[in-house]
């Protein structure tokens, strides 16, 4: 059962071939085997997990059939789990959370068992996973390399056979880049469909009513597309106060047969080169899609301008970051902005400027709607390269190597920014490996509020074209 999907593990539980208490023990043993090298599961809650496993077995004998009943899983350290600290990788004395994050509560209510919490980048602000509180997490495909970030511990746990289902978050690719680097599936839901209450740094107040985090989303990582669908059905739905009067009903997938899909393929970005191995894997997949009867397009003009999407994302992100910087830092940024510093101008923009930017975001959403009138999904890279070596240098001094060309590290999320400003759903799927044997991941971007379309397409790629999870050659 070590590398089985969550769906298959649940089938085994339902048939009585295995018990939840046994699955919990197997997961704990796997953590003991491999996590000394990986450092993925940094907060452990084994005693309560064992108790929950025994209770799940008893509940199943009584006829309980909740969708995740008895399934062991882990969650990203950034989510509140009652009784466990939430640090976001920061040093200090952090008290235990008193309540679960809404999404953790929903997973538990569906019967899932939380074994512990997985490692993150400090304040979730990196595409590597390392912090002063818990240290560095390694990639199970190559311990010298990063699993990505900030949900790197999540992706490493799923890939290494620790847990079949994980809960992560994504703003600038924090779900999608780790999924691609570790060869697993992930889904970034449509903006606002999965609530984020209980997902906040330790210094932030916990309130019943919580503001949405602009451009951010939380969602699952797993070993199959079916697992993503299963998790999304549990996680999605409005939170208070909207939940008192609203219900969410996501549309079914546009098609059930692979040949019916219309797929727009993008493999060149104007702001960054993409590794040849990744482009070759995408082109090979595009050919197989065409041979399967799909309509395949390759014209970049069919999508909104990629530079514009990146600039809009960056401007919105800088404005959001400016809200919580210390007063002295904000004053210094405002002064620099008055002298023409464009970065600081974005961080300290006026509400009037932000509203103009938000209106431009709506125009981009309209452009995407025209794209999805002609196409069902956009297939593109999740990152310009595969997993790279750990780099602990200052953020602004790091570089990214793409086929021997050294680029600014901050360019890494250029591909993941496509969907973010307008909140589109994205499913990440493994599509092959490069010459070094490292996983290659691709994004399937879908229409807004049609999350089941990219998930279903990922499932068809998995079933019919071999785009499936493959365990890394990890030696305990």
Which residues are designated catalytic?
Answer: 76, 150, 174
CA 134-139-143 angle, to 5 degrees, is: 90
The answer for residues whose C-beta is within 8 angstroms of residue 85's C-beta and 6 or more apart is 43, 94, 95, 96, 97, 202
Structure tokens at 367: 């452009």
Distance CA 127, CA 146 (A): 8
User: What burial class does residue 248 get, using C-beta atoms within 10 Å of its C-beta: 0-12 exposed, 13-18 middle, 19+ buried?
Assistant: middle
Give residues with Cβ within 8 angstroms of 244, minimum separation 6: none
Residues 6+ apart with CB under 8 A from 435: 277
Instruction: Quote the radius of gyration of the chain (alpha carbons, Å).
Output: 21
Cα separations (Å) of 323 from 27, 182, 316, 395? 41, 33, 11, 21
* Dihedrals phi, psi of 134, to nearest 5 degrees: -125, -10
Six token digits for residue 138: 């390694």
Preceding peptide of 150 cis, ω within 30°: yes
In the sheet that holds 72-76, the strands lie side by side as: 41-44, 113-118, 72-76, 165-170, 217-222, 185-188, 426-433, 439-445, 377-381, 262-265, 295-297
Could you tell me the sign of the dihedral formed by the alpha carbons of 164, 167, 169, 170, in that order? positive
3-state secondary structure of 176: helix
């Amino acid at each position: 059962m070590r590398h089985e999907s969550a769906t298959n593990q649940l089938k085994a539980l339902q048939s009585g071939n295995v018990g939840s208490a046994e699955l919990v023990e197997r997961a704990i043993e796997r953590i003991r085997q491999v996590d000394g090298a990986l450092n993925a599961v940094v907060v452990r809650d084994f005693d309560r997990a064992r108790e929950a496993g025994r209770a799940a077995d008893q509940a199943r004998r009584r006829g309980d059939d909740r969708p995740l009943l008895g399934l062991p899983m882990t969650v990203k350290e950034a989510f509140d789990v009652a009784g466990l600290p939430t640090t976001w990788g920061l040093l200090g004395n952090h008290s235990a959370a008193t309540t679960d994050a809404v999404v953790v509560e929903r997973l538990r209510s569906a019967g899932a068992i939380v074994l512990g919490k997985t490692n993150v980048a400090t304040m979730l602000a990196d595409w590597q996973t390392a912090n002063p509180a818990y240290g560095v997490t390694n990639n199970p495909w190559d311990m010298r390399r990063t699993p990505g970030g900030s949900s790197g511990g999540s992706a490493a746990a799923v890939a290494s056979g620790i847990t079949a289902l994980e809960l992560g978050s994504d703003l600038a690719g924090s779900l999608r880049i780790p999924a691609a680097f570790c060869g697993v599936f992930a889904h970034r839901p449509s903006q606002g469909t999965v609530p984020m209450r209980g997902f906040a740094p330790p210094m932030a107040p916990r309130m019943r009513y919580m503001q949405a985090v602009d451009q951010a989303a939380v969602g699952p990582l797993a070993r199959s597309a079916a697992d993503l669908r299963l998790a999304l059905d549990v996680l999605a739905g409005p939170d208070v106060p909207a939940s008192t009067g609203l219900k969410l009903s996501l549309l079914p997938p546009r098609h059930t047969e692979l040949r019916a899909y219309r797929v727009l393929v993008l493999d060149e970005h104007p702001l960054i080169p993409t590794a040849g191995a990744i482009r070759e894997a995408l082109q090979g997949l595009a050919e197989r899609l065409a041979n399967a009867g799909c309509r395949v397009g390759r014209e970049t003009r069919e999508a909104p301008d990629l530079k514009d999407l990146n600039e809009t994302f960056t401007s919105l992100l800088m404005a959001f970051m400016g809200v919580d910087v210390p007063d002295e830092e904000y004053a210094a940024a405002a002064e620099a902005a008055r002298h023409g510093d464009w970065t600081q101008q974005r961080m300290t923009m006026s509400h009037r400027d932000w509203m103009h930017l938000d209106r431009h975001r709506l125009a981009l959403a309209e452009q995407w709607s025209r794209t999805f009138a002609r196409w069902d999904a956009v297939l593109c890279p999740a990152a310009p390269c595969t997993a790279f070596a750990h780099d602990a240098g200052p953020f602004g001094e790091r570089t990214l190597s793409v086929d021997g060309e050294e680029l600014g590290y901050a360019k890494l999320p250029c591909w993941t920014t496509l969907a973010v400003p307008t909140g589109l759903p994205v499913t990440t799927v493994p599509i092959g490996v490069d010459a070094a044997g490292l996983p290659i991941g691709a994004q399937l971007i879908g229409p807004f509020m049609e999350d089941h379309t990219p998930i279903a397409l990922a499932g068809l790629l998995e079933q019919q074209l071999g785009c499936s999870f493959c365990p890394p050659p990890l030696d305990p």
